[in-house]
Amino acid sequence: MQHVTLPGTDLKVSQLCHGCWQFNNNTTTVNWDAQPLEVSKSIVDKCFDVGINFFDTAQGYAGSEEVLGECLQGRRQNAVIATKYGFREGVGTPPYSALDIQEAIETALKKLKTTYIDILQIHFPSFVKDKDETITELKRQIGLGKIRYYGVSNYGPKNLREFLAAGAKPVVNQMGYNLLWRSVEDEVLPICKENNISVLAYSTLQQGLLTGKFHKLDDIPEGRRRGKLFKNTEGSNKLARHGQEGAEEEMIVALGKIQEICNKAGVTMSQAAISWLLQQDGVDSVITGASTPQQVVTNSNIVKLSQDVVKQLSEVTEPVKAKIGKTLDQWATPDRCE
């Protein structure tokens, strides 16, 4: 596992960041099945075994911070922890004042059983009450040693430009980015590169669509059809809430072509998807999750793709990118990531 120093920091992180949303202390949630603490611990053990030292969690991931804190006992010094504030009261959580930010940090420190957070991220732009107040408080928390750096999550070009214009110095911008969801390439990636901000990509395998398991639309479970790749008009995909036309035909065609490229290159589709992302300029680390230790091993099998294969993968997914357009928010309309 290769390690890189995130731009603008002294944090040396693994190219894979383990996403801890599934850490729920054996409690079934709307997003995940129950994961016992022992399983979470075995996953963290395997992360260290394969060289992963970077972990991402959030205030809004029920139970996740507590479980990660427990799993890192005795080895906190070997880990880089990124967490996010937001969703303290669920979906309708109002914007955070300086006091709210302070309370979120203090609560996270207790849950994570640590004295500092390496990177504190703002989960969505909507959680910023006042930009100047937010930046001042984040700087104050750095001065206190409670956080080392701060970043953002789901910040599109409008919000990113406004935050930077107010004097913010985020070191990461966590965005949904993968072979089937490439809208960040239009404006977000260029802005981030220009301002020395590393894009931390999530949804790297697009809810399993890029694992090679699905070959036609009917193969895909309804619960995985909630995003804007899928049609949500005329009563289709009732679990979705975006009301968009989707890009189903383009996506299925692209998946078939990706599989053909992978077969010729001698790599699995998941290997290609993760490795392609890591070979994109401006992406230093990508987030992957796991429900078993073996999935950690599988995800960590990164390969160096030839430039020809990288180009081919980009070309066959271009029609999907064109159909989706500039929308960044996979799930909701209007776009929360503008």
Global pTM value: 0.95
The CA distance from 158 to 271, in Å, is 33
Give the tens place of pLDDT for each residue, 149-167.
999 999 999 999 999 999 9
pLDDT of residue 287: 98
Given pLDDT bands bounded at 50, 70 and 90, which one contains residue 322?
very high
For residue 284, give the H/E element and its range.
Answer: strand 283-288
The CA distance from 268 to 259, in Å, is 8
Give the tens place of pLDDT for each residue, 188-214.
999 999 999 999 999 999 989 999 999
Residue 247 domain-assigned? Answer: no
pLDDT at 234 over 80: no
Give the tens place of pLDDT for each residue, 97-106.
999 999 999 9
Percent above pLDDT 90 for the chain: 85
Residue 289 domain-assigned? Answer: yes
Residue 320 domain-assigned? Answer: no
CB atoms within 10 A of CB 251: 24
Report the number of distinct structural domains present in the chain.
1
Residue 98 domain-assigned? Answer: yes
What CATH number has the domain bearing residue 90? 3.20.20.100
Residue 14 domain-assigned? Answer: yes
Give the tens place of pLDDT for each residue, 58-81.
999 999 999 999 999 999 999 999
pLDDT at 30 over 90: no
Residue 235 domain-assigned? Answer: no
Say how many CA atoms lie within 13 Å of 316 toward its Cβ: 20
Residue 121 domain-assigned? Answer: yes
Q: The domain containing residue 103 runs over which residues?
A: 3-207+281-303
Tokens of 307: 């430039």
- Cβ–Cβ under 8 Å, residues 174 and 153: yes
pLDDT at 297 over 90: yes
